[in-house]
């Protein structure tokens, strides 16, 4: 390239290559001898799209960060323009080729004349043959380019020690870099027909560079990241350390002089730079919180602890302890388990605490809630449980009955919540569980719990609760609707059941209170009054009408998504609508 002067701004240098001392060359260029001797490829095309070479590489030993296992290289035989596409499966080859062909023919105003492949099964099938019926068949150059790409990637994997999980990021960089370096094959202007920009070493296109990113929280002022793919678009960077996408809006302070360039040739003009910034062990400590800072739109409530240990250092420790004590006391009153001495043939499941904060219809904190959850994912189908089906009520039925019974007929309604609903279900098969953390019985710490009632986390707890609820309601004279299993009727009383939430409809207020009292005898419930907030929807009574909205849910999203746009938009967006970049930035 220096001799042909095909790169602007690059002076002529004398480079001596010692293949024997270059470890990366020996690793990257290890090949088998070709079966065809004395073969020299000659280009016979006269313009772009006269011949296109295609070859597929893969599968990779591990999936890429995006889940890809293959890459498809498509090379124009005249201009040497390379397009690389990452694929998750071989079946995507045909659809990607059609998109590529439609794009290049529209851009260049030419028709494709011939295609050259290696006759792989991904290219030789009925759809491909029908689509390319009028084109020639050829094979060869795509393999050479694919080999050139893979060899270059082998160098970077061996030199940077970044592993193979960043393989496809390196491939996409090579797609851009190799085309800039391959223009010396033909100095005519037609070779640059697919890319009007001339190549220049001043353009930052390094595959393995370092940069510093500004942090928002007052821990460190900045943090060093290793960037392994810097695309020509300059729109986003990818980091080995955090494996995340850093956009320009994160205020990246990019220094193009910070290159991790390690030459494998003896060149006196370039001096290898040494790293003067060593990463300390505190970088790994800030890793998790740093990732959360990047994903500013993550639905995550920071005030809710995730483990028992977090509750003990939480400022609301007393409230969480009270919630856990209430849960354990409820299980003891229901006789959910008894302690037994473990045996060698017992399969003991683990358990953990799950915490949540309940809010009312105005998004005010109503209750601190703790749930003891069993590790049901360790249950064995057919051994520990059989059927898991439990009916759920369609929300359209709820809206229909509110329109008919409340708005038109003027009936009264009330909402009740069943405390520990799943704890009512009986277990036919014995299940053993560890004692809950923080509530192990003194002197019996090594004992395990033999469950008599279903508990949260088991696969079949919903079914067991539904069986118990049906027995209770049938005993009170209710009948289950055949078309809607969550609807129960009794003379002038209608019940809607959604797991542990029950809505009662009666003509008069006195009859409504009597029905709730009868249910209260059988089940431990909490009376919530008229329905105001159910399944994430607000029910607001305005005259003879009931207004349904989701203001509470929207306010919750506002507290979690801190930088939602403040301006309200009257026209809703379609499902799956993709916003332009300028709209996202605003």
Q: State pLDDT tens for residues 23-35.
A: 666 666 666 555 5
Cα distance between residue 429 and residue 281, in whole Å: 50
Q: Quote the tokens at residue 304.
A: 């809710």
Q: What is the mean pLDDT of residues 195-224?
A: 47
> When comparing pLDDT for 202 and 457, which is higher?
457
How high is the pLDDT of residue 74? 92
Cα distance between residue 49 and residue 136, in whole Å: 12
Contacts (Cβ under 8 Å, ≥6 apart) of 329 = none
Q: Are 132 and 115 in contact (CB under 8 A)?
A: yes
Q: What is the mean pLDDT of residues 387-401?
A: 81
- State the pTM of this model: 0.42
Is residue 213 located within the same domain as residue 132? no
**Residue 296 within any structural domain of the chain:** no
Does residue 144 have a pLDDT over 80?
Answer: no
Helices marked H in 496-542: 509-522
Q: Are 10 and 201 in contact (CB under 8 A)?
A: yes
> When comparing pLDDT for 219 and 564, which is higher?
564
How high is the pLDDT of residue 313? 84
Q: Are 457 and 375 in contact (CB under 8 A)?
A: yes
Does residue 154 have a pLDDT over 60?
Answer: no
CATH number, residue 122: 3.30.420.10
Output the CA torsion 434→438→442→444 (10° steps). Answer: 10
For residue 73, what pLDDT band results from cuts at 50, 70 and 90?
very high
- For the ranges 13-22, 151-160, 223-232, 234-243, the lowest mean pLDDT is seen at 234-243
Mode of pairing for the β-strands spanning 252-253 and 426-433: unpaired
Is residue 237 located within the same domain as residue 176? no
**Residue 131 within any structural domain of the chain:** yes
**Residue 15 within any structural domain of the chain:** no
How high is the pLDDT of residue 161? 45
Is residue 212 located within the same domain as residue 256? yes
How high is the pLDDT of residue 292? 38
> When comparing pLDDT for 39 and 538, which is higher?
538
For residue 486, what pLDDT band results from cuts at 50, 70 and 90?
confident
- For the ranges 85-99, 392-406, 421-435, the lowest mean pLDDT is seen at 421-435
Is residue 131 located within the same domain as residue 234? no
**Residue 399 within any structural domain of the chain:** no
pLDDT in tens, 58-68: 888 888 888 88
Cα distance between residue 523 and residue 309, in whole Å: 33
How high is the pLDDT of residue 337? 84
Is residue 176 located within the same domain as residue 211? no
Name the DSSP letter for residue 314. Answer: S
**Residue 401 within any structural domain of the chain:** no
What total number of domains does the chain contain? 2
- For the ranges 214-223, 363-372, 576-585, the lowest mean pLDDT is seen at 214-223
Is residue 176 located within the same domain as residue 221? no
How high is the pLDDT of residue 151? 54
pLDDT over 90, % of the chain: 3
How high is the pLDDT of residue 178? 56
Cα distance between residue 206 and residue 170, in whole Å: 10
Q: Which domain holds residue 260?
A: 204-265
Neighbours of 286 (CB within 10 A): 15
Q: What is the mean pLDDT of residues 477-483?
A: 86
How high is the pLDDT of residue 18? 56
**Residue 135 within any structural domain of the chain:** yes
Candidates 414, 574, 551, 412; CA nearest to 496 is: 414
Is residue 94 located within the same domain as residue 139? yes
How high is the pLDDT of residue 328? 86
Does residue 20 have a pLDDT over 60?
Answer: no
How high is the pLDDT of residue 431? 82
Does residue 347 have a pLDDT over 70?
Answer: yes
How high is the pLDDT of residue 112? 87
For the packed helices 167-181 and 141-160, what is the interaxial angle rounded to 10 degrees?
120
- For the ranges 158-167, 319-328, 500-509, 574-583, the lowest mean pLDDT is seen at 158-167
Output the CA torsion 132→133→138→140 (10° steps). Answer: 20
**Residue 242 within any structural domain of the chain:** yes
**Residue 512 within any structural domain of the chain:** no
CATH number, residue 236: 3.30.890.10
> When comparing pLDDT for 533 and 42, which is higher?
533
Is residue 122 located within the same domain as residue 212? no
> When comparing pLDDT for 574 and 413, which is higher?
413
In 272-411, DSSP assigns E strands to 337-340, 348-349, 351-359, 365-374
When mean pLDDT is compared over 94-98, 258-262, 263-267, 416-420, the highest value belongs to: 94-98
For residue 126, what pLDDT band results from cuts at 50, 70 and 90?
confident
Contacts (Cβ under 8 Å, ≥6 apart) of 480 = 470, 473, 474, 487, 488
Does residue 287 have a pLDDT over 70?
Answer: no
Last residue of a domain, one of 212, 231, 265: 265
Q: What is the mean pLDDT of residues 324-351?
A: 84
Is residue 224 located within the same domain as residue 149? no
Does residue 201 have a pLDDT over 70?
Answer: no
For residue 268, what pLDDT band results from cuts at 50, 70 and 90?
very low
Last residue of a domain, one of 240, 265, 290: 265
pLDDT over 70, % of the chain: 58
Strand partners, 451: 337, 431
Q: What is the mean pLDDT of the chain?
A: 70
Is residue 73 located within the same domain as residue 143? yes
3-state secondary structure of 231: coil
Does residue 556 have a pLDDT over 70?
Answer: yes
Output the CA torsion sign for 229, 234, 239, 243.
Answer: negative
Q: What is the mean pLDDT of residues 330-353?
A: 83
Task: State phi, psi for 327 to the nearest 5 degrees.
Answer: -65, -45
Is residue 70 located within the same domain as residue 176? yes
Helices marked H in 313-460: 317-334, 395-401
Candidates 523, 372, 529; CA nearest to 456 is: 372
Q: Quote the tokens at residue 253.
A: 């302070």
Q: Quote the tokens at residue 540.
A: 């607001």
Is residue 131 located within the same domain as residue 215? no
pLDDT in tens, 170-190: 555 555 555 555 554 444 444
């Amino acid at each position: 390239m220096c001799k042909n002067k095909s790169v602007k701004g690059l002076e002529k240098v004398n480079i001596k290559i010692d293949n024997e001392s270059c470890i990366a060359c020996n690793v990257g260029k290890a090949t088998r001898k070709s079966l065809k001797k004395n073969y020299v490829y000659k280009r016979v095309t006269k313009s772009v799209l006269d011949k296109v070479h295609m070859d597929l590489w893969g599968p990779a030993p591990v999936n890429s960060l995006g889940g890809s296992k293959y890459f498809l290289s498509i090379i124009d035989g005249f201009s040497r323009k390379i397009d690389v596409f990452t694929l998750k499966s071989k079946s995507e080859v045909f659809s990607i080729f059609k998109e590529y062909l439609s794009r290049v023919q529209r851009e260049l105003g030419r028709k494709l004349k011939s295609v050259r492949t290696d006759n792989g099964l991904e290219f030789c099938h009925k759809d491909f043959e029908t689509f390319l019926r009028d084109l020639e068949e050829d094979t060869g150059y795509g393999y050479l380019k694919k080999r050139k790409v893979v060899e270059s990637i082998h160098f970077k994997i061996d030199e940077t020690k970044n592993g193979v999980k960043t393989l496809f990021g390196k491939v996409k960089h090579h797609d851009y870099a190799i085309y800039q370096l391959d223009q010396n094959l033909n100095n005519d202007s037609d070779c640059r027909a697919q890319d009007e920009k001339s190549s220049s070493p001043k353009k930052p296109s390094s595959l393995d560079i370092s940069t510093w990113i500004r942090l928002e929280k007052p821990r460190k002022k900045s943090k060093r990241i290793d960037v392994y793919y810097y695309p020509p678009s300059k729109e986003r960077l990818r980091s080995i350390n955090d494996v995340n996408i850093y956009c320009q809006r994160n205020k990246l302070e990019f220094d193009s002089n910070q290159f991790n360039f390690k030459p494998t040739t003896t060149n006196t003009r370039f001096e290898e730079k040494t790293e003067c910034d060593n990463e300390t062990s505190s970088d790994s400590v800030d890793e998790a919180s740093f990732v959360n800072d990047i994903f500013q739109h993550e639905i995550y409530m920071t005030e809710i602890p995730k483990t028992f240990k977090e509750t003990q250092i939480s400022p609301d420790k007393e409230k969480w302890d009270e919630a856990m004590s209430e849960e354990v006391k409820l299980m003891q009153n229901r006789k959910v388990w008894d302690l037994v001495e473990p045996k060698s043939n017992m399969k003991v499941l683990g358990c953990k605490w799950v915490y949540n904060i309940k809010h009312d219809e105005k998004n005010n904190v109503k209750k601190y809630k703790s749930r003891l959850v069993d590790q049901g994912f360790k249950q064995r189908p057919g051994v520990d449980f059989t059927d898991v089906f439990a009916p759920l009520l369609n929300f359209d039925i709820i809206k229909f009955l509110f329109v008919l019974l409340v708005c038109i007929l003027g009936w009264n309604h009330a909402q009740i919540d069943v405390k520990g609903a799943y704890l009512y279900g009986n277990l036919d098969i014995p299940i053993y569980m560890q004692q809950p953390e923080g509530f192990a019985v003194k002197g019996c710490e090594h004992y395990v719990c033999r469950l008599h009632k279903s508990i949260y986390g088991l696969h079949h707890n919903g079914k067991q609760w539904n069986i118990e609820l049906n027995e209770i309601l049938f005993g009170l004279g209710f009948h289950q609707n055949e078309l809607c299993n969550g609807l129960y009727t009794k003379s002038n009383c209608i019940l809607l059941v959604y797991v542990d939430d029950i809505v009662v409809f009666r003509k008069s207020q006195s009859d409504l209170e009597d029905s709730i009292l009868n249910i209260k005898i059988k089940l431990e419930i909490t009376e919530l009054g008229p329905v105001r907030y159910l399944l994430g929807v607000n029910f607001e009574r305005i005259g003879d009408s009931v207004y349904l909205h989701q203001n509470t849910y929207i306010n919750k999203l506002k507290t979690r998504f801190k930088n939602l746009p403040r301006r309200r938009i009257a026209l809703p967006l379609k499902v799956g609508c993709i916003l332009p970049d300028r709209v996202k930035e605003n």
